[in-house]
Amino acid sequence: MHSLALLVRLARWYYALCLAGGCLALVPDRLNAGLPRLARVARKVLLNSVGRGRTYDEDFEGASGSGRLSRFVRSVLSASVPKRWFSHFYHLAFCWNGAWLLLLLKAVLGGDESETLRETLLALICLQVHVSRRLYENYFVHIHSNEARMQLFGYSFGLLYYVFLPANFLSPVAAAFEAAGAGAGTALGDGAATGSPRSSDATSMMSGGPPSLLPTLLDGFGARQGLCLALFIFGNVMQYQSHCTLASIRKGGGQAAPGKSKYSVPRGLWFTHCSSPHYLAEILLYVGFITLSTGWGAGTLLLMTM
C-alpha cells in the first residue's frame, strides 16, 4: 500500500500547486506590473495554458524575451491539440478509476465490511457513473469543430487531474492500511482496546467473511444520504441537459461548419437562470457524492476550492 500512500501525497501536492497557480492567475492586470518578472511570466503561462486556441495571447511571444528559455516557453505555450481530444480525459478516468473500483469491490466481496472502505466505494461508484456519462457525451452529444483547439499545457494538466482524482477518496483507505501496518499489536492492539474507529477499520480490512455487496453499501443509508444521492443525480441530469443545449447550437449538417468561428448565446432551460449551468451542475454533483461518502478532507477541500 506504499504506492497508494504515495499517490495520495502526490495528489495533494498537485491540487495545492493548481490552487496556488489559480491565485496567481487571478491577480488583476493593474497589479501585474508590480510582480517580479518570474511571477509575471508564470502568470502569463497559467493564463495561456487554459486557453482553447482562440484565447492564446500572441502578444506574450514578443514580451517573453529572446533567450533559449523564452523560446522554449513560447514553443510549449503555442503548442495545441484538437479539442476533440477532451475525450482522452474520460477514457483515462474511466479506466483508472474503474481499476481502483474493482480492487475495492474485490476487498468487499472478500469479507471487508469496514465503514472506511464502504464510504470510499460509494465515492468511486459515483465518480465512475459521472465519468462514464461524460465519456458518452463526448461521442454522442458534443460537436467539436475541426478548428477547435486547446493548449497542450492545459491538456497535460487535465490528464494529471484525472490521474489524481480517485486519490482524494482513497486517502482514508491508505490511512487505515498504514495504521494496520504500524506495528504488530501496537496500533491494532491499542485501537482494539480503546475502540479507535480507524484501527477498527484497519482490522476489519484484514478479516471477515464474504458479505453481500448491496446491504454493505446501504448500511446506515438514511435521509441525509438520500438527499446527497438526489443532489448527485440532479447535478448529472442538469449538466447533461446543459451540454445538449450547447450542442444544439452547433447542429446543422450534423457537424460544426468547418470555418465557423462565431458562437451563439445559449438560451432556454437552465441557461435562462444561469450563465454557465454546466459548471454549476459540476459543483452540485461533486458536493453531492463527496458528502454522500463522507469524503470531506484536505484532498477534497483542495479539489473543490480549485
- Encode 161-197 in three state secondary structure: HHHHCCHHHHHHHHHHHHHHCCCCCCHHHHHHHHCCH
> Is 178 a residue whose pLDDT tops 90?
no
**What value does the CA radius of gyration of the chain take, rounded to a whole number of Å?**
23
Closest Cα to residue 171, out of 8, 40, 39? Answer: 8
Best-predicted range by mean pLDDT (89-93, 100-104, 247-251): 89-93
Q: Which helix (H) or strand (E) holds 151?
A: strand 149-151
Per-residue pLDDT at 244: 93
User: Which pLDDT value is given to residue 50?
Assistant: 64
By three-state DSSP, how is residue 32 classified?
A: helix
Model confidence band, residue 269 (pLDDT cutoffs 50, 70, 90): confident
**Residue 43 pLDDT > 90:** no
Q: What is the DSSP letter of 110?
A: T
Kindly tell me if the per-residue pLDDT of 133 is higher than 90: yes
Structure confidence at residue 183 (pLDDT): 46
As a whole number, the mean pLDDT across the chain is: 77
Question: Can you tell me the distance from the alpha carbon of 158 to that of 164, in angstroms, rounded to the nearest whole number?
Answer: 10
The whole-angstrom separation of Cα 257 and Cα 186 is 67
- Tell me: pLDDT of 19 over 90: no
Specify the higher pLDDT residue, 29 or 102: 102
Cα–Cα–Cα angle for 169, 171, 177, rounded to 5 degrees: 130
**Region of poorest pLDDT, from 66-80, 95-109, 219-233, 262-276:** 66-80
Percent of the chain's residues with pLDDT above 70: 71
d(CA 221, CA 216): 10
Q: How many CB atoms lie within 10 A of CB 240?
A: 17
Strand-pairing partners, residue 80, are 151
| pLDDT at 101 > cutoff 90 | yes
What would the mean pLDDT of 196-202 be, rounded to a whole number?
45
Going from the C-alpha of 7 to that of each of 113, 138, 303, the distances in angstroms are 24, 28, 15
107 CB-side CA count, 13 A? 23
**Residue 180, class by beta-carbon neighbours within 10 Å (0-12 exposed, 13-18 middle, 19+ buried)?**
buried
208, burial (CB in 10 Å: exposed 0-12, middle 13-18, buried 19+): middle
Q: Higher model confidence: residue 243 or residue 202?
A: 243
Q: Say if CB 211 and CB 107 are below 8 A apart.
A: no
Among 61-65, 141-145, 230-234, 285-289, name the one with the lowest average pLDDT.
Answer: 61-65
Q: Which pLDDT band holds residue 200 (cuts at 50, 70, 90)?
A: very low
Structure confidence by residue, pLDDT tens digits, 44-75:
777 776 655 455 555 554 455 566 767 777 77
